[in-house]
Structure 1
Amino acid sequence: MKKRTLVSMITGALVIGAASTTFAAANPFSDVPADSWAYDAVSKLASDGVVNGFPDGTYKGQQTMTRYEMAQIIAKAMTKTDIDKADKALVDKLAAEFSEELDNLGVRVADLEKKSDNVKWGGRLRYYYRGVKDDSAANKDRTNDTQYELRLEPKAFIGDSGWTANARIRYYSNAASANNGGSTNNGTSDKSDTKIDRIFVEGPLFGSDAKLGKVGTYSDNVFNTGMIIDDSISGAEFNWTFGKDKSNYAKATIGRYDYNSGANVGVSNYAYDGTGDYTSFEFGHKAKDKGISALAGYYSLRNMDSTFSKYAKADSDKTNFWVGGLGYKFDKNIQLFGLYAKSDMDEASNYLGDDQSKAYDITLKYKNADIAKAGSWDIYAAYRYLGQFATIAPTYDISARDTKGWQIGTDFVLSKNILAMVEYYKGKRLSADYSGNDADYNAIYGRVDFFF
């Protein structure tokens, strides 16, 4: 028989249809004669266990294939280790397309990957530019910040236990700026650094997907805002998903939070500086293509050190944050949502007005950029109000804590795994506005990400 690649085998089978259930014999199917143009492809796939026949020994290639039958073929093809690079790329693309059906079959890509390679490497190379004009600052000129960042994310499979060992290694460097002599937004000089900011094990525990070690924690798995926190803690995080289509989740996080704004490049001065015991509970429902989405969360910092506790209520070493969110998907492309957060810092020192203990985000988004699809894009408009004492370390790129304002942005996939973003924010500094000082604040942000 002429040797063929997995691509040609699957292509031949798909052209005439697919098989189902079981196949007990190694001989060709009774309804695929030896002189058929597809005989080699079907026979080879059957002998390799990639496709099966019907109990009566037929292939029934003239029947229309269901997505479930296609997922069965892909699942078996994913277990093959002796395939070339082009074949593997095709199988990976098919697996992404039929991910939901593979989920229903109980197939997990990570479980299949470990059959061919015990260690997987992923990562990202990023370049960004941020320009900020803050009239409340001593220097009212626009400051410019550019940064390069390389992330390497190795994952090692721990036998057949379902557990993996993970890490994230970051190298970042600020480029000099013509406007501010190479300084960054937080006033430090041009510098670079390498650090391991995550190192943890992940696997099934107590019915959840558990992460233990120095893990990344991100608030809001529903609307993906990260409004309360997007950072690392030393501790544990447990994520349970449930419901017919796993659209509901519960997440619990506990650990020690240590954040030093001056030690990180390109981070706003308005982030916390200190340590505290961190606890959070979050529940959410995420509509798939249409319908209501909802979020509720509680986050707490306790036993804060002297630097951190100046943000807490008087005579207290703890503070709490609550968040609620509601959204509606009109269809798979249009989504409107809002989140509201509140803290108990009404008596904090340096507190300026009741509004500094609340935060909210109202966003209208059209479409979704998918890094696996070149040419895909999205656009959004949002109004954000971020009280200085209402969040911990939000993920927003230019919507800074202690500001309120409008933001627009767009994402565009230049090529597969290459994502470009542009954002513009126009607003005011809350503390300066409350004091009657110049408060205008506007910023522009652009970046390109290369994922691998």
Structure 2
Amino acid sequence: MKKKILASLVATMAVGATCAFAANPFVDVPTDSWAYKSVVELADAGVIQGVDGTYFQGNRNITRYEAAEMTAKAMAHMDKASVEQRAMINKLADEYADELNSLGVRVSNLEQKVGNVKMTGDFRIRYKHQSDAFTRNGGNNVSSDQFQYRMRLRANAYINDKTKAVLGVSTNNKTFFDGDNTTAADKDTNSIFVDDAYVTSDLTKNFNVKAGRWDFYNLGNGLGLQYGDVFEAMQGQYKLGNFTLTGGFGEFKEGAGYTGYYKDGDGNIVYNNNTFNHTTPITTTTPNGVTTNTHSLVGVQTGYGEIEGAFNKVGFGVYYNAFNDSVAKTQNLSKIIGGYAKFQLGNQWNLIGDYQKVKKQTTSATDDDANLWGAKLSYGAAAFNKTGSWDAWLEYINADPNALYGSTNSWRQANLLDNVKSWGVGVDYTIGKNVMFSVMQSFASSLKDSSYGTKDPNEETRAQFVFVF
């Protein structure tokens, strides 16, 4: 215990010390003591207070509760710590997890007093395989494999106990091992962008407001099949007992255009994923003469509202998104109405179902109203802070043609979300603290409406590592 506490003091001293010449606050620590400089720096940083603010009592054994308080203060300085110091503080956090939890709001208060800006982030590296699914070198070649990485950094500024500002940047998904002869400097031009820039504040105990840009807007808070990406909005949220009411107005800022078709080696159009000017949709004609527009949510504005409820082991939500701006009309999109339900089945099993009705501005034989729904059954719960934790899941997707508009939050490639019926399985495993490995596989995938295509989509395999810090 003494060794761990000493390590904690050394780590927090290096992290949180602010002035080596501060006045000595303890009468029982002489200036010629070997520990004088360290004790003064720790006291000046607010990590230790001594006894009654007057005596250090260095020979006294401290309690686990006092050690937890020191650890909490060291955690507040994590953004200034080295890799070794972070590792030590993380070990101490594990050691005193129960005491830290018992501190509750008090830990939050300590963090805001000692350091009000906290840096976080994540790094993801993944492999994807799907035959005839991915283009590279400007679309000249077709590859069944892709390797990608993405890194994100977050600065969380605690303005006061009710208000927080977040600024974040992301590299987005960067493909490597792609056979492209473009230099790294040329290829990465303008690749890093701001995906978080917002302020959130609790105006009252039950009412919260949020404004700016955030990296994740899950349309409907269900499975996120339709959209789960960068969004700019002004939003209000009110909590009343077991119910939460959310409403706002915003604009979608990320997402590829989807038609559900791709030209395979035989000339059959099965799937097409185009980057295009969202105000001028691309028209695609299939081999059997069906013509359809490429759809996207980029630049589309929406007014939205949602009512959610949570009761013991059951949760649900109903939501409504209206699209009436000129860009939405160009995309032939009028509104999306949907709902989800969640069920906790015992201690380990969870089930969620999500349904959406996509209403068009003008219906036609090639772009009619569409239904999109899915369900996911999972067992266990993988957590980044718990080594050895894991979960496994099974999902089913059923989508009409032209149902998909945005940058999905699903792990699947777009052609496994539009005009398909498909199953999927996956496993998530925390191999070490803050490191998770996941693998996913689709199976039994087929076109839902064969008049919109001539070939069932190929199955997709993914594997990835995610590191958080």
TM-score range, shorter chain: 0.5 to 0.7
* Partner AA of 2:252 in structure 1: Y
- Comparing 403-412 with 77-86, greater Cα deviation is found at 77-86
Give the deviation of 1:280 after TM superposition: 1.8
Q: 1:287 to 1:391 in 2, by over 3 A?
A: farther
Partner of 2:392: 379
Give the deviation of 1:428 after TM superposition: 2.8
Which whole-Å CA distance do the structure 1 matches of 2:203 and 2:245 have between them?
A: 14
Matched, 1:363 2:376: yes
Partner of 1:170: 170
Can you list the C-alpha shifts for 1:208-232, whole angstroms capped at 9, x where unaligned? 3332111234337865x22332122
Matched, 1:277 2:301: yes
Partner of 1:154: 155
Partner of 1:428: 446
Contact 1:135 1:438 in 2 (8 A): no
Which whole-Å CA distance do the structure 1 matches of 2:378 and 2:392 have between them?
A: 6
Matched, 1:439 2:456: yes
Contact 2:134 2:142 in 1 (8 A): no
Contact 2:72 2:100 in 1 (8 A): no
Which whole-Å CA distance do the structure 2 matches of 1:8 and 1:231 have between them?
A: 39
1:132-147 matches, cutoff 5 A: 132-133=130-131, 143-147=144-148
* Partner AA of 1:333 in structure 2: Q
1:297-376 matches, cutoff 5 A: 297-305=319-327, 308-312=328-332, 319-345=334-360, 347-348=362-363, 351-352=366-367, 357-376=370-389
Partner of 1:395: 409
Give the deviation of 1:282 after TM superposition: 1.9
* Partner AA of 1:279 in structure 2: G
Can you list the C-alpha shifts for 1:180-200, whole angstroms capped at 9, x where unaligned? x689xxxxx976611112211
Partner of 1:201: 199
Which whole-Å CA distance do the structure 2 matches of 1:4 and 1:261 have between them?
A: 51
Q: 1:231 to 1:210 in 2, by over 3 A?
A: same
SS of the equivalent of 2:90 reads helix
Contact 1:136 1:438 in 2 (8 A): no
SS of the equivalent of 1:320 reads strand
Q: Which runs of 5+ in 2 are unaligned?
A: 10-47, 54-63, 79-84, 258-271, 275-293
TM-score (normalizing by structure 1): 0.68
SS of the equivalent of 2:299 reads strand
Partner of 2:212: 213
SS of the equivalent of 1:227 reads coil
Q: 1:209 to 1:108 in 2, by over 3 A?
A: farther
1:20-419 matches, cutoff 5 A: 47=51, 78=72, 88-89=89-90, 92-93=93-94, 106-107=105-106, 109=108, 111-133=109-131, 143-158=144-159, 160=160, 162-172=162-172, 173-177=174-178, 193-205=191-203, 207-219=206-218, 225-243=223-241, 248-259=243-254, 261=256, 268-269=273-274, 272=296, 274-286=298-310, 291-305=313-327, 308-312=328-332, 319-345=334-360, 347-348=362-363, 351-352=366-367, 357-387=370-400, 388-389=402-403, 392-398=406-412, 400=414, 401-402=417-418, 403-419=420-436
Contact 1:341 1:390 in 2 (8 A): no
Which whole-Å CA distance do the structure 2 matches of 1:333 and 1:205 have between them?
A: 36
Which whole-Å CA distance do the structure 1 matches of 2:330 and 2:225 have between them?
A: 22
Q: 1:294 to 1:4 in 2, by over 3 A?
A: closer
* Partner AA of 1:409 in structure 2: G
Q: 1:205 to 1:216 in 2, by over 3 A?
A: farther
Give the deviation of 1:248 after TM superposition: 4.2
TM-score (normalizing by structure 2): 0.66
* Partner AA of 1:324 in structure 2: G
* Partner AA of 1:446 in structure 2: A
Can you list the C-alpha shifts for 1:35-55, whole angstroms capped at 9, x where unaligned? xxxxxxxxx999379xxxxxx
Can you list the C-alpha shifts for 1:233-272, whole angstroms capped at 9, x where unaligned? 22223334453xxx6433223223334527xxxx954761
Which whole-Å CA distance do the structure 2 matches of 1:360 and 1:391 have between them?
A: 14
Give the deviation of 1:362 after TM superposition: 1.3
Aligned identity (percent) is: 19
Q: 1:213 to 1:136 in 2, by over 3 A?
A: closer
SS of the equivalent of 1:284 reads strand
Which whole-Å CA distance do the structure 2 matches of 1:417 and 1:222 have between them?
A: 25
Which whole-Å CA distance do the structure 2 matches of 1:351 and 1:94 have between them?
A: 61
Aligned residue pairs: how many? 367
- Comparing 225-234 with 132-141, greater Cα deviation is found at 132-141
Contact 1:321 1:391 in 2 (8 A): no
Which whole-Å CA distance do the structure 2 matches of 1:363 and 1:339 have between them?
A: 9
- Comparing 75-84 with 163-172, greater Cα deviation is found at 75-84
Can you list the C-alpha shifts for 1:15-50, whole angstroms capped at 9, x where unaligned? xxxxxxxxxxxxxxxxxxxxxxxxxxxxx999379x
CA RMSD in angstroms comes to 4.2
SS of the equivalent of 1:115 reads helix
Which whole-Å CA distance do the structure 2 matches of 1:442 and 1:231 have between them?
A: 24
Which whole-Å CA distance do the structure 1 matches of 2:365 and 2:101 have between them?
A: 51
SS of the equivalent of 1:442 reads coil
Which whole-Å CA distance do the structure 2 matches of 1:293 and 1:331 have between them?
A: 14
Give the deviation of 1:443 after TM superposition: 1.0
Give the deviation of 1:88 after TM superposition: 4.6
Contact 1:362 1:382 in 2 (8 A): yes
Which whole-Å CA distance do the structure 1 matches of 2:133 and 2:254 have between them?
A: 27
SS of the equivalent of 2:409 reads coil
Can you list the C-alpha shifts for 1:293-339, whole angstroms capped at 9, x where unaligned? 2121112222132xx433326xxxxx111111223211221012211
Can you list the C-alpha shifts for 1:74-94, whole angstroms capped at 9, x where unaligned? 579746889986885366447
